[in-house]
Structure 1
Amino acid sequence: MAPSTIYQYHMRQDFSTNVDSNNSTAPTTDAIIIHLQFSHVLELCYPETIQIPLNTTNESHLFPRQLFSSHVNRESIVKEILSSMGCSSDFIESAAPDISSFALDMVTNPCNASSSEVLTMVLAIHVTTPYDEREEIDRALSESLMQEASRFKPASKSCIDGLKRMSLEGSCSMKECMVCLEEFLMGSEVVCLPCGHIFHGDCIVRWLETSHLCPLCRFAMP
């Protein structure tokens, strides 16, 4: 089974980027900015660990503080932000309550509630999707070994004992036994498999005691 995508996140209040609402360029008063720092990497685990960036996003979302006083509103806001980043539904459902609770704590904190500044909450999300090439290699090897095991399963004794033996006479499209690679001699005993291919009797018996497949067309004997 392939490794699952790993989500890591943390929140903090950024005091260094707060906007003074008395400043004429301030977007609004009593507001909160959620600054999203999102990164998604593909982690190759074989032959060495390498991280390949897939997506890096830095964006800010401005909301009135009062929206976060409502449980339904604040979770809806957080879920919409996470969904826009393509986060999995499982992660969204598990992380949204925690993230929205942190935002609520920020806007209701007495120190922040009395402040005229626009609050800034930093939400950092790091997503790692592992890709273990060894697993793909091991899977391919396992399938190959299973195929080889199937190939070298011997034919049943009753099948071998019931082989149709005949004397080679007249013209034959096959000039040599493909097991021993020796030419067929007129009048020699040969065995014809159900698929129509002809071999020396002793040669094909030894072959079928090892593999139940025709050496030429891989027709499967019982």
Structure 2
Amino acid sequence: MRASFYHEVFGDSQPEDAGTITVTATILGDDDDFDTSFTTSSLPIQDFFGLDGQNENYVCQIIRELMCFLLEADIDADTIRDTMMKLLGYVLIVTCFSSSGYSPGCDLSVELDLSPYYLHDDDDSQSQIEEAAQVLFDEITNNTRFRPASKLAVKSLIRKIYKKKNSALEECTICLEEFKNGGTVVPLPCGHEFDEECIVKWLETSHVCPLCRLEFPCEDQMN
């Protein structure tokens, strides 16, 4: 099955909802009458990521609730694991970059739709998002954790002025916005290109390319 993600940010939420996240999961079928949905309890965003650092095996309440819902719906274990990985990566992307409209203190609502692959046409942009999310979660599950790239490595990256070629659509797969003609683009050694602001902020958190896992020297390796 294919997992698709959407989100909405509420900046004027009630005080008790500020800085929280809620996830609604829907299993889609051929007929809307067979769609089933489940909404998790709200949870502080720091609890969603388990940022207390006290328990390496921490699994947040939202993930536990979603896993139970999917298990009861007879979704296979491999699909559940893959979906939870992508969910964590997606939320991390949304909360890390201001282009998503999110800022600390906002109320974040995430929609997860699970549907059979045959209901979809090919969507390269969605595949790139999912690939980036997969890389993010792999960083966590492989126990490498998120380590920032060295400031020297980031400073040494090539910057270039983007010039639009004909009518071809080229976009940054971090912010999902089209490159601006005359804007600054950073091509990584692997060949993937990103908006300067996006990739610099990304490398402050993770030392790998968002798409292919090309590694950069870490800040702690330079000390």
| TM-score > 0.5 by shorter chain | no
User: Could you state the TM-score of these two structures normalised by the residue count of structure 1?
Assistant: 0.39
Structure having the higher Rg:
1
Larger proportion of strand: 1
